[in-house]
Amino acid sequence: MEDKLTIETPEQIPLEFPLAGIGSRFLAAALDTLIQFAVLIVMVVIGLLVFAGLSTISEKAGLWGIAIYVLGAFTLQSGYFAFFEAVWNGQTPGKRYVHIRVIKDSGRPITTYEAVLRNLMRIVDSVPGYGIGILSMLISSQNKRLGDFVAGTVVVHENPLADQAKVSWNPTQTAAPSGYDVGQLTPEEFQLIETFLLRRGQLCD
């Protein structure tokens, strides 16, 4: 049975999100790691050229160049996931390719705070060889790693949203009778339906 996150809205309408498993999350992480590695290679080439140029000026300038490069590499390693998840609404390039997204336990989009917090724990999750993170996801009923527990987040598939995008409305087609007289709805019930439709986009983003 597919793992799902079920959220009961204030309107008492359940929303279901299929949870991303270890396979899809590992593939997304592998793609993100390849991107990081490619950027790191470019940084190495640029760093060597800068170091060679600064070394001709003075030894101290060359050491400053090395320090800047180390700082840049550390920032790339530690800030890559947090940056993209904050600005891309819970996705990195790898997650976007695999069609998975990080959201809060409540179903709402994550904030910069959650993006930074869950990725600070990546250092712990990634040792040894992501063993702790994998063990945590195997034990958790919602496939959470330690960073997800700390930040209150989950990783879900975007298949339901993709399916919704395929739905089209053709006004030339004759709609089948629903069998229900909408005239029986009270103003309060109309307002409840309208509230849910307005909130649905926020809950699923």
Mean pLDDT for back-to-back runs of 10 residues, the chain (205 residues): 73 82 92 92 80 66 71 81 93 94 91 93 84 90 92 85 49 51 64 67 54
pLDDT the model gives residue 162? 44
Q: Among 150, 147, 197, 200, which residue's Cα sits nearest to residue 17?
A: 200
pLDDT the model gives residue 59? 63
- Distance CA(131)–CA(103), nearest Å, equals 23
CB 117 within 8 A of CB 101: no
Residue given tokens 């709609």 in the structure block: 175
Q: Among 158, 139, 138, 81, which residue's Cα sits nearest to residue 115?
A: 81
- Distance CA(25)–CA(156), nearest Å, equals 10
Beta-carbon contacts of 69 under 8 Å, excluding residues fewer than 6 positions away, are: 43, 44, 47, 50, 51
pLDDT the model gives residue 160? 46
The overall average pLDDT reported for the chain is 79
Residue given tokens 């439709």 in the structure block: 197
Measured N-to-C along each axis, helices 112-120 and 59-87 cross at an angle, to the nearest 10 degrees, of: 120
Against a cut of 0.75, is the pTM above it?
Answer: no
pLDDT the model gives residue 77? 77
pLDDT the model gives residue 1? 46
